[in-house]
Amino acid sequence: MSRITILDPTAQPPEVDADPGPVLAGVDAARVGIRYDLTWRSFDWVRDEWARMLGEDGGVVTQWCAGDRTGEAAEATLADLRDFATSQEVVISGLGN
């Protein structure tokens, strides 16, 4: 008679790391820009939280939504991006996208 083994597909819970990660020091009065686009809407919640926290730390936060990257509108988007990036001391650009 054959025997079978039933496996438990339940994953182990992740280890909890109490370290919150690096702290952005010296934000006081820094010009912080957050660049985003409309392709990943979940990032809206993240950038709202970051903008709030950076503002509470004294940063002056500006958010910029990237426009079209093709056709005639691409030149305007690139010019706007240059203006935005050069007027900031720190720029957060999505999650590397």
pLDDT tens digits for range 5-33: 888 888 888 888 888 777 767 778 899 99
The pTM of the whole model exceeds 0.75: no
The domain locations on the chain are 32-93
Nearest Cα neighbor of 94 from 37, 55, 51 is 37
Q: How far apart are CA 85 and CA 64, in angstroms?
A: 10
Q: How far apart are CA 26 and CA 88, in angstroms?
A: 14
- Going from the C-alpha of 17 to that of each of 10, 14, 21, 49, 50, the distances in angstroms are 21, 9, 9, 21, 21
CB 53 within 8 A of CB 27: no
Rg of the Cα atoms in the chain: 21
- Going from the C-alpha of 83 to that of each of 7, 64, 72, 76, 87, the distances in angstroms are 58, 10, 18, 11, 6
Highest mean pLDDT among 1-5, 65-69, 76-80: 76-80
